[in-house]
Amino acid sequence: MNDFYELLQKIKKRPAMYLGRHSIFSLQAFLDGYYYARREASIPLTEQEQEFQQFLQWIRVRFKVETGQPWASIILFHTADEKDAVERFFNLFEEFLKQKSNSNTDWLVAQTPA
């Protein structure tokens, strides 16, 4: 898969087909498996995949979480249920991309509390 964001859009359109069920933890497991498979095959991360790693840190900053909680747990904590958390994930990802494209500075450093 050359276009990681295209994969995310496919998952967004049909989460149950890719994840088995509409679950934020299934999404996290799917993406963890994706990254694991690339590492095992010695395939370097694309620019989009590297950027997505920044999104995971952005989630912690966005919700002011300083612990090592997984991003899925953070999102679930701020939603009604796992299905809602999947939908929120994609909304947050769009917010992240928009914020990143609108920023002329190092957006992650600017968001990190002092």
What letter does residue 21 receive in the DSSP assignment? S
Q: Which of 31, 30, 26 has the alpha carbon at shortest distance from 83? A: 26
How do residues 72-113 score in pLDDT, each as one tens digit? 999 999 999 999 999 999 999 999 999 988 885 455 544 544
**What is the Cβ-side half-sphere exposure of residue 14, based on CA atoms within 13 angstroms?**
5
pTM of the full structure:
0.85
